[in-house]
Amino acid sequence: MKIIKITYNQNIYQHHGWTLDIHVDKEFDNMKNFYTAVNGDNRVAFRWSPYNEPSQQDFELWVDLNTPNEPADILGQKPGVVMNNWDSELLQEAKNIFNENL
């Protein structure tokens, strides 16, 4: 069996000088997306599930939160919950905490 792997990059969103680049790895049986936010010479990994794509609103909120590395950086650790990647719900929770501290 021949394995086919296709990799490509594209810019998908922009917000406050940041551009979200998506790096897509496609193989015959799956596809994974990897995200990097770029602002000039700054490159920051946007830790999102490799199996789905964030919305423009998700990216904008993440940038507005000052590009945090992972959810635990803002939300702390939750017992029994692995929070390696952001999702819409965790971003909203982080926004609420951010707004409380203003």
pLDDT band at 16 (very low <50, low <70, confident <90, very high): very high
Sheet holding 18-26, edge to edge: 6-15, 18-26, 31-39, 42-46
Give me the mean pLDDT over the 79-90 stretch. 82
Q: Report the alpha-carbon distance of residue 67 to residue 50 in Å, rounded.
A: 18
- So what's the pLDDT on residue 6? 62
What pTM does this model have? Answer: 0.82
Amino acid type, 95: K
Q: How many other C-beta atoms lie within 10 A of the C-beta of residue 86?
A: 24
42-78 pLDDT, tens digit each: 999 999 999 888 999 999 999 999 998 888 888 887 7
Res 4 pLDDT > 70: no
> In the chain, where are the structural domains located?
6-100
pLDDT value of residue 86:
92
The whole-angstrom separation of Cα 102 and Cα 93 is: 15
- ∠ CA 65-66-71, rounded to 5°: 60
